[in-house]
Amino acid sequence: MIKKTFYNLPEEKRQRIIDAIMKEFSSSTTEKVSINRIIKTANISRGSFYQYFDDKVDLVEVLTKKFIDLSLEGANIALKYSNNDIFYTYEKLFEIISDFAKDSRQKAILKNLLNNLRANDDLISEYLLNRFDGFTALQDVSKHFNRDNLKYKDDYSVECLSQILTQVLKNALFNVYVMGKDSNNVKENYMRKLEIIKQGAVIKY
């Protein structure tokens, strides 16, 4: 678990450590990530490292939280400007996250994380099973979706719909970051799937 001492660091030092973690994950698959290289790049001691983190899994958490925070920030903006429309929000989420690919380092990091996730990498799996709370954040977003035009308005049904759309989103992002497919083509296919799901979920007037 990431320790409070990490979050209590001065912003400049905390960002320097995050940058070192990002650099390491952008050039190495998760199982080959080197704590020694991170320590050297961040210019901190090994003792300091273990004052901030327990293990490599915490490093995955640092990166995941960064991307989740950026994604949720975009999702909340989309909610605000679409009267909390679930389908518009997922359309914008794809655009926001696929835009990370414009930064070569962010693209490499996400490729390594997603690729190892699909390969059931132990480091990623341990984090997702025991520490990942990102889905809780997504569930919080789902509470704000407008249900007026949905066929099924209860909490469970809206949560199920959000889970289905999240899976479609994850598959699309895998195609962009891991398979290296053209983002525009992937988006066209993604939007088609959203439309098919929408036809079954939205009331026709």
Residue ranges covered by each domain of the chain = 4-201
Global pTM reads 0.72
What is the distance of C-alpha 37 from the center of its chain?
Answer: 25
Q: What is the third-level CATH fold of 4-201?
A: Tetracycline Repressor; domain 2 (1.10.357)
Question: From CA 139, how far away is CA 87, in angstroms rounded?
Answer: 15
The one-digit pLDDT tens for each residue of the chain (205 residues) are: 889 999 999 999 999 999 999 888 888 766 678 999 999 999 999 999 999 998 888 888 888 888 888 788 888 888 888 889 999 999 988 988 888 878 888 888 887 777 665 545 566 556 655 655 655 666 677 788 999 999 999 989 998 998 899 889 888 988 888 788 888 999 999 999 999 999 999 987 5
Contact 201, 152 (CB under 8 A): yes
